[in-house]
Amino acid sequence: MSACGIPEEVLRDEDLIKRLEEVAKDAALMRGVLMRTKDRPNSPEVVSYAPFSLFPSPVPRTLFHQALEVQTHFNRLVDRISQNPVFLEEALASTIKVDDFTAKLFEVYRAVRQEPQTLPVVLGLNRSDYMLDQSAGGKASLKQIEINTIAASFGGLSSRTPDVHRHVLRVANRVKESQQILDNNPAAGLARGLAKAWELYGSERAVVMFLVEDVQRNIYDQRYVENELWVRDIPVIRRQFEDVWRGGSLDHDKRLFVDGQEVAIVYFRNGYMPQNYKSEKSWEARLMIERSRAVKCPDISTHLAGTKKVQQELARPGVLERFFPDEPETVAQIRATFAGLYTLDMGEDGDRTVAMALSNPDQYVLKPQREGGGNNIYGEEICRVLESMKNSTERTAYILMDKVQPRPGHNYLLRPDAPLRLCTCLSELGVFGAYVRKGAEMVMNECVGHLLRTKSSEHADGGVAAGVAVLDNPLLV
Binding residues for Mg(2+): 146, 148, 371
Q: How many CB atoms lie within 10 A of CB 26?
A: 13
What are the distances in angstroms from CA 53 to CA 3, 71, 430, 457?
Answer: 16, 26, 16, 14
Element (H, E) at 63: helix 61-82
Alpha-carbon dihedral of residues 61, 66, 69, 71, nearest 10 degrees? -120
Q: Residue 100 and residue 77: Cα distance in Å, rounded? A: 26
Q: Residue 303 and residue 269: Cα distance in Å, rounded? A: 12
For the annotated binding site for substrate, the residues are 127, 150-153, 216-218, 222, 269-272, 453, 464-465
Nearest to 66 by CA among 126, 140, 163: 140
Q: Residue 417 and residue 231: Cα distance in Å, rounded? A: 35
Nearest to 433 by CA among 76, 63, 62: 76
For the annotated binding site for ATP, the residues are 146, 308, 367-376, 378, 428, 455, 461
For the annotated binding site, the residues are 127, 146, 148, 150-153, 216-218, 222, 269-272, 308, 367-376, 378, 428, 453, 455, 461, 464-465
Q: Residue 65 and residue 69: Cα distance in Å, rounded? A: 6
Q: Is 225 exposed, middle or buried (0-12, 13-18, 19+ CB in 10 A)?
A: buried
Sequence-distant (≥ 6) Cβ neighbours of residue 449 within 8 angstroms = 155, 158, 159, 184, 185, 186, 187, 189, 431, 432
Catalytic positions are: 127, 146, 148, 153, 308, 367, 371-372, 453
3-state secondary structure at position 279:
coil
Question: Which residues lie across from 34 on neighbouring strands?
Answer: 49
3-state secondary structure at position 271:
coil
